[in-house]
Amino acid sequence: MEERYDVSSVEGTWEVARKFAEELKPGDVVCLEGDLGAGKTTFTQGLAAALGAKRAVTSPTFCIVVEHPTERMLLVHMDLYRLHDADDVLTIGWEDYLARGAVLLVEWPDRAGDLIPPNAWHVKFTLGETEDARVISLARR
């Protein structure tokens, strides 16, 4: 199943994130796909806000992992760009987070290889026709 949303602004992306937040369960893995600047971090900000995060989300690029405790669950935002393979990803606590029931939001999920479970969510961002337009596809496969 795949759902597709055409949004025309950051607010539109936040709205999709807000609806998606209602679907999330502890232990879910969410792969965030799309080029630099496509909106992966912006979507995560909307998701965290919808779940009642206590502080703002910034890009995890220079930290690799950033934890966002929310009223409903622990969101863990990972940017795996600088990692190489699943062994690297294990060293940042992947299994511990899942065992604790965290939701993992993963940029550059290809680095995690087989660690991505078959029931992971895949949220893909592509640029639209105008500067602030994006196409967001949501799938679980």
Ligand X SMILES: Nc1ncnc2c1ncn2[C@@H]1O[C@H](COP(=O)(O)OP(=O)(O)O)[C@@H](O)[C@H]1O
Using rule CB under 5 A, residue 33 touches Mg ion:
no
Question: What is the full DSSP assignment across 125-140?
Answer: EEE-SSTT-EEEEEEE
Which runs of consecutive H residues, i.e. helices, occur in 1-141? 10-21, 40-50, 86-90, 94-99
**Residue 106 interface partner, choices Mg ion, ligand X, none, CB cut-off 5-8 Å depending on type:** none
Residue 72 or 108 with smaller CB distance to ligand X: 108
**Residue 39 interface partner, choices ligand X, Mg ion, none, CB cut-off 5-8 Å depending on type:** ligand X
Among 40, 68, 77, 134, binds Mg ion (CB under 5 A): 40
Among 5, 8, 10, 59, binds Mg ion (CB under 5 A): 59
**Residue 134 interface partner, choices ligand X, Mg ion, none, CB cut-off 5-8 Å depending on type:** ligand X
CB contact set of 104 (below 8 Å; sequence gap of 6+) = 28, 29, 30, 76, 78, 94, 97, 98
